[in-house]
Amino acid sequence: MYKEEINLKYLLNKYNLISKKSLGQHFLFEKNIIYKILEAANIQKNSHVYEVGPGPGSLTIELAKMQPKSITVIEKDERCLNALNEIKSLTKTQINIISGDAVKFNEISLGKENMINISNLPYNISTKLLVKWIENRTPFTKYILMFQREVAERLVSKKNEKTYSRISVLTQWFYEIEKLFNVPNTAFTPKPKVDSTVIMLKPRPKPLYPANIIYLQKVLRVCFGHRRKMLKTSLSFLHSNPEEILNKAGINKSLRPEDLSIKEFCFISNELENSS
């Protein structure tokens, strides 16, 4: 399908692409890692693939070889568009190239079902994107995502662990999450300072416990925003009588956010909503 020389090095040279730090540009050239990502994605002929930040397309080239029904890529750096168009011209797989900001883009407007999100995310916006996908209930059936290793650790973190945080609760409330494998920084050019981790997310049929995401977000923000404070103190930013809320939820007022389970955060969120 492709001339042998169509690879990352060829595309970077041909289009004179020098990576921009501000866009989190660390391009993945290690083929074995790309193959492991593809294996985890288990792409079928009827799959629609969505990729954030394809860059010059090292992952996109290999995705196209799997011949899914379509691939939609969204890239902020216009300098990458020629490289992506070259890949598009060389494959029979339908590739839609969107030039824009993935944070602002409404994926629901693509009108596709059975959409798999396979992305090596720009580090600076990775959690922002994840929160957006949860808030908008974006219709991806599966995500294979590369995160900075510390961020991935926060995503899978459980209560009482040091890295347990707002994004751990929100992500695990909404998704089934599996850490797949670590990726050394030597797999990228230019080499980032930190290693990465690939994780798989699958939306739960419904969130783990009932809660209104608006209230849940408020509770998580205020509690983890003051990690060292007791819950009764943090929650006083949201309610005039936080002890009453905690009593109703059956939670000790002196606990700190890292002591609470997802279920308990949902209880607090529901009590707060009921009392507002």
Binding window for ligand SAM (CB under 6 A); candidates: 72-80, 176-184, 232-240, 261-269:
72-80
Choose which of 47, 117, 120, 126 interacts with ligand SAM (CB under 6 A): 120
Q: With binding defined as CB under 6 A, does residue 53 bind ligand SAM?
A: yes
Q: Taking CB under 6 A as the rule, which mask of x and - marks residues 208-227 in contact with ligand SAM?
A: --------------------
Tell me the site size for ligand SAM, rule CB under 6 A.
22
Nearer to ligand SAM, 28 or 169 (CB): 28
Q: With binding defined as CB under 6 A, does residue 194 bind ligand SAM?
A: no
Which residues between 84 and 103 bind ligand SAM (CB under 6 A)?
A: 101-103
Q: With binding defined as CB under 6 A, does residue 55 bind ligand SAM?
A: yes
- Residue 208 and residue 229: Cα distance in Å, rounded? 26
Choose which of 49, 71, 75, 84 interacts with ligand SAM (CB under 6 A): 75
> Residue 190: is the preceding peptide bond cis (ω within 30°)?
yes
In degrees rounded to 5, what are phi and psi of residue 103?
-70, -35
Q: With binding defined as CB under 6 A, does residue 11 bind ligand SAM?
A: no
Question: What length does the chain have?
Answer: 276
Nearer to ligand SAM, 144 or 220 (CB): 144
Nearer to ligand SAM, 23 or 266 (CB): 23
User: Residue 131 Cβ, how far from ligand SAM at the closest point, in Å?
Assistant: 14
Q: With binding defined as CB under 6 A, does residue 127 bind ligand SAM?
A: no
Q: With binding defined as CB under 6 A, does residue 59 bind ligand SAM?
A: yes
User: Residue 115 Cβ, how far from ligand SAM at the closest point, in Å?
Assistant: 17
Distance of CA 26 to the CA centre of its chain: 17
Binding window for ligand SAM (CB under 6 A); candidates: 118-126, 137-145, 171-179, 219-227:
118-126
Q: With binding defined as CB under 6 A, does residue 50 bind ligand SAM?
A: no
Nearer to ligand SAM, 125 or 216 (CB): 125
User: Residue 56 Cβ, how far from ligand SAM at the closest point, in Å?
Assistant: 7
CA distances from 53 to 18, 76, 88, 103, 121 (A): 15, 7, 15, 11, 7
State the residues that interact with ligand SAM by CB under 6 A: 23-28, 52-55, 58-59, 74-77, 101-103, 120, 122, 125
